[in-house]
Amino acid sequence: MILTVTLNTALDITYRVRSLRPHASHRVSEVTERPGGKGLNVGRVLAALGHEVTVTGFTGGATGRQVRERLAGTPGVEDALVPVAGPTRRTIAVVDATSGDTTQLNEPGPEITPAEWAALQETYERLLRSASAVALCGSLPPGVPVGAYAQLVRAARALAVPVLLDTSGEPLRRGVAARPDIVKPNADELAELTGSHEPLQATRNARRRGAHAVVASLGPDGLLAHTPDGHWRARPPVRAHGNPTGAGDSAVAGLLSGLVENLPWPDRLARAVALSAATVAAPTAGEFDRGLYERLLGEVTVTAEAAAA
C-alpha cells in the first residue's frame, strides 16, 4: 500500500469559460468537482496505475463530506481522512478556452487544533506500518506547526518507509533537513530554498541540505533530477497544451510508483514526465489521458547531465 498525506485537502472546482476577462460577467460552459489537494490527486493517479492507495489528511464540514463522497467512488483508494471541526477548503480553477490559460483561486483551509493535529499523527503512524512508501504533499492549513512535514518525514524514516516530500516555503526547508528520500520542488520553490536560480546548482544545493534525491519540475520543459545514482534531465517530446493543474501531482505519482516498483531513475523520470503531460491534456487534476500517456512514455527524452561544480 502507498500512503499519501494531504494536510490541506480541498474540493477542486473547475469552471470553463470561453474567454476570461477582468471586470466582466462570464457564462460558464462546464463545471466539474473533484476531491482535491495534492496528495489526493497523487493517490488517484497511483490507483489508476494499479497501485493500492490509502489517503489521509484533514477533512471537515459540508465541503469535507462532498470530498469523501466523491472519493468513495474511486477504485483502489482507501479513505483514512481525519475529521476536523472546520470546513474543508475549496479551490477554484477558471480555464480560459480561448487562450488555454488557467486562473487558480485557493482558500486557506480550516483552523486545525492541537488535538486534531495529534489525531492525524496517530493515524499516520498507524498507517505507516503497512505502507511501502509515503508522499507528503501540499500546503499546511492554519494551526498546523510549520515543522509538521519534518515530523512526518522523521516518523517514516524511523520505520524505514521511503518518503517523498512535495511542499514549499518554510515547511519545505524544515522538511528537507529531516532527510526525505525524494523532494520534488518546482523551479521557483527550489530557488527559494537554495538561493540559486541555476537549476543544476540548485538541485545540488538542495541535496546538501538533506534530501537524498531532488527532482525539480521545470514546467513544460520536464524534470531535472540530482540523485545518488546520477543526474538526468527528462523532456517531453512536445509541449503539452491544456489545464496544467495537477500536472506536478501526476509527476509525483510517477516518481513514487517507480520507486516502489524498483525502476531505474531514467524510467521513473520518463514515467513522471509522460504522466504530467498527459494530465495537462485531461479535463481535471488527478486524471490523465491514458492513451496519450502510453504514447508519450516511449517518446520522453532522458539524458545524463554533468554534476554541477
CA distances from 289 to 16, 240, 241, 242, 281 (A): 18, 12, 13, 12, 6
Spell out the residues 6+ positions from residue 106 whose beta carbon is closer than 8 angstroms to its own: 10, 89, 91, 92, 139
Cell numbers 489545464 correspond to what residue? Answer: 243
Q: Residues 289-304, buried b or exposed e (16+ Cβ, 10 A)?
A: beebbeebbeebebee
Neighbours of 205 (CB within 10 A): 18
Whether residue 289 lies in the annotated active site: no
Query: Is 251 within 8 Å of 275 (Cβ atoms)?
Result: yes
CA-based torsion, 287, 250, 163, 105: positive or negative: negative
Which member of 12, 166, 181, 249 is catalytic?
A: 249
Instruction: Dig out the grid coordinates for 278 from the structure.
Output: 498527459
Which of these, 260, 210, 270, lies nearest to 234 by C-alpha position?
270
CA distance 13 to 88: 13
CA angle (125, 127, 129) in 5-degree steps:
80
Q: Looking at the annotation, which residues are catalytic?
A: 249
